[in-house]
Chains A and B, each alone.
Chain A
Amino acid sequence: MQKISRDSLNLGLIFTAAVLFVTLIGMPAVFDETAMIFLTAESALTLNQVMLIGIALGAGYAAARKQTGADPAALALNGAVAGGVTGLALAVFTALAAQVDLRGVFVNVSPELLNVLSFGEPGVAGLLILLVGGVALGALGALLTRLPARVQSVGVVTLFITLLVGLLQSNINSLINPADALIVTLWVGAGYLAAGRYGNSSIGRYIGALADDRAGGMRAPALRGLLAGLLAGLIVALVLLAGGSAGLEASLLVKGLWVDQSTLAGLILILVTGGIGGLAGMLLSVSPATVHNMGLAFITLLLVLGVVYAERKLSIVGALIVGALIVALQLLGRTTSRAADARHAALAAPQRRRVGILNVIVGVLILLIVPQISNLYITSVLDQVGLYILMGLGLNIVVGYAGLLDLGYVAFFAIGAYATGVMTTPNLVTCPPPGDNVIVMTQANADAGYLEDSYRALSRESVGVVVDTPAVYAANVIRRTTIVPFDSLDAAMAALDAGDIAAVVGQQPELASYLAAGSLVTSEPFRPNRTTWEPPRFTETQRAAWCGPILPFWAAWPLSGLIAGIAGVLLGIPVLRMRGDYLAIVTLGFGEIIRIVTLSDTFADYLGGAQGVTEIPSPVIDLTALSGISDAFKQPIALSSASQVYYLILFSVLLIMFVANRLSHSRLGRSWMAMREDEDVAQAMGINLVNAKLLAFSIGATFSGIGGAVFGSWLHSIFPNSFTLLVSINVLSLIIIGGMGSIPGVVIGAFALIGLPEVLREFSDYRMLAFGALLVVMMLLRPEGLLPARPRKLENHQDQENGTGEAISPPQTVQAAPPVAEAAVEGGN
């Protein structure tokens, strides 16, 4: 007897509510414009269709999960009911909305939306598609519950990633060509196989005998990996050379390495790169499971990118290949990672340490290469993610380690950005305050570049007078400066006599007194001798002294961090005695205060007010002053593009990650954690709460300030409204989604919360909506975060057992702790 459960109907109604909600906010119409997988050259599976299919499948799946019995027919029936109810509701809505105009209230219910909902079929046909589709997909979804759990999880991950690839294809289809992806895979794979699986073969033993292979030694596998990589490199080089110029064109990587086709240098370079690839493969084969899987995932990513590159528009075949790669990754990763893990565990401690260091080096190398192979868009997204990682690392100290809830964290980011902006930009503090100042200058002088300086000297409200320079006049109108042009000095002097302008600045002898004072600007009437009037000529030193930046970026950068740190202490002192929620509101208020102060007119002379600080110069690497280096490096390099700033951000992230990691294992870090768990007990144990709290605030603030400084010089302009409460909330959310108190968690959280929405720009309308929903769902399903910090108990245990120096490669006992146990411990506190 097959029975329709009440749960199925309820679930159908819940999914109905969901589907009606997404419909009313107009999602289907927007999503219909995003093609994911091209079935033919013209028609494609759109995101909208994927979403509707997903909802129907999900309804059926959820209904079947509620069933206790395992009878397929009953499951299918219940699934069909849930899916059918959803489909029916959507059909009824479509039919109704076609009759009644809902746009007065629900602005997004447009005819296009209805057209999209009925899959372009007018009338009853479209409604039938919805209903029948709902029933069929619901039943299908229900039957999916009968698959083994392992298959289900692999399937879901595969489907998700494949669809994500489809979604991102327009951004990622020009990154890596298939030949390059294959070559790198070949090199790494050769090294991996040579070092790992075939290590005991006769050839392996022979090579092993060449190397001094002491107990648990790494030299033999390393040598095998190197040789295999070299061999693979040689094969690749030979194959491509045999293919001639066509072969070289196929692989941009090899073409790039093949410096000069007439010499051996190119060949050697290819061999060396192959060798490095082989070594990396060897390294993977003895790495801990996490690193091993990350390596496999990286290789898979390369191959997937290669497929997308080859396809340009992802076809159904391409999607299947991508799916197959991801399935292979999951199946392969599961078995091989255990073997690698075992090999890693068998190594002696110093060697494990070496593997860890080498892994970090390989990781950094990959990170260094990324902006070279990715496009500008991806790089700037990475830059943004990097800045959020910086902030996340800082807030992680305050909230994750020390347990002080800070809702105004963006303030320190703003302080860092403004500190750098004000110190490195030549038009704010260094220049005199506004007044009715006037500069008269000829066209010749303006052309010589002095006009720029004059205008930096003058504030925005000032009146500049430029003789006979209509072009400059136009340029200055754009700068929002009121300006009165005069054709001649006589006219300007007449205006001065009439009192229309305050001063005229001109000829050299008369200027001397003002220049001596370090300023060209005066509010007193200044009367040059008309007959001998000459345009002013300034020396470079005078120009620099007059209105230059206070400090170059490289000096301002650490100073910004310091200033933010001091601000952290200043905030910390009054809130020392406040408990959690009071702290939250006061810090939130502090964030708002900083934003309002930067926005206000009162401080606009120093901070730019609502217009913000503009024209912040890029950091310049200028080695001209250094002696003993070749002239090739003496060219000043301005770090202005996204890929140049990337290195700056990467450097700061790595540095701060290192510092944060060391801190968390330090005495201070342990006292923070003690304080987080229980302030009173911590105090009783002799921890100085005042010091610990202030240090947490100031170190967290410093990290953020360092990020803010890079932010300002990257974007060249900062506005008060870049530092809203939402940024603080974003940062807090990312450390909580990533896993509180966990450094890898911060990275994952930043990518998930900042990187992903940034890449999915097409639906910018729904970004915040999805963000909010994600926060709620995440907290309901996995409150401990994606990569939770290891339970402190185990960590303390590790410290006792192994002493110091084990930070880079954590020992196995901890690694092997099942995630469920971690979740339980984390969730329980």
Chain B
Amino acid sequence: MTALLSDTALIFGRYARQTLRSRFQILFGVLMPLLYLLFFGPLLTGLPLGGAGDSWQVLVPGLLLQLALFGALFAGFSVIVEKQLGVVERMRVTPVSRPALLLGRVLRDAALLVLQAVLLVLAALLMGLRAPLAGVVIGFAFVAVLTIALASLSYALALKVATPQEFGPTINAVSMPSMLLSGLMLPMALAPGWLDVLSHFVPFRYLVDAVRAGYVGDYAGTAMLYGVLMAVALTLISVTVGTRVFRKAGA
């Protein structure tokens, strides 16, 4: 257990330093949601979005999870590069804990995406967002948890596929429908019945609804409950799958 913790810290440190060396990497991820915030957000002010709170309280939670969704799902690309450099193999012949190779990486991703989420919320405050602090903090927690879950799956996939050409399209095939069907941009309250029903099969929908509830100060409702349950389930499954793949690959 102590080996797992110290090895996780070691791997986290390696990749955190790698991230800190590249300011570009730190800021680039926040660019897409920031563009939505600046050029899409203002279109929504004044529209009836069918829920509590103003348009910023609806949009910003969606953008936060969009940030986590895309940032985490594409995290695996780094493993593909490292596979080609031989770094993955070199680490696998050492006695380092196999789960630590995964956990150190996903914790780095969670830290990076929460930092980007903070930057995004600061920008949103300038644009006119007003939300309770506890809700905002809950939003960051959801970003961290979603990142841990999706980055685990992304790394597992990256370890399994033979080429980057297989990885990119697979990730796109997951990320785009997930974004559209979970009501990240506009709440599913606006959707016709069939679309609303369909979106209930997309786990991210519950996470978005929970963060939106947090942003209007509703911490004890069913939206928050379902969001937390879904986030926990998603994380348990994803980390289990991820560690299994990392263990097996190191056999």
Task: Determine if chain A interacts with chain B.
Answer: no
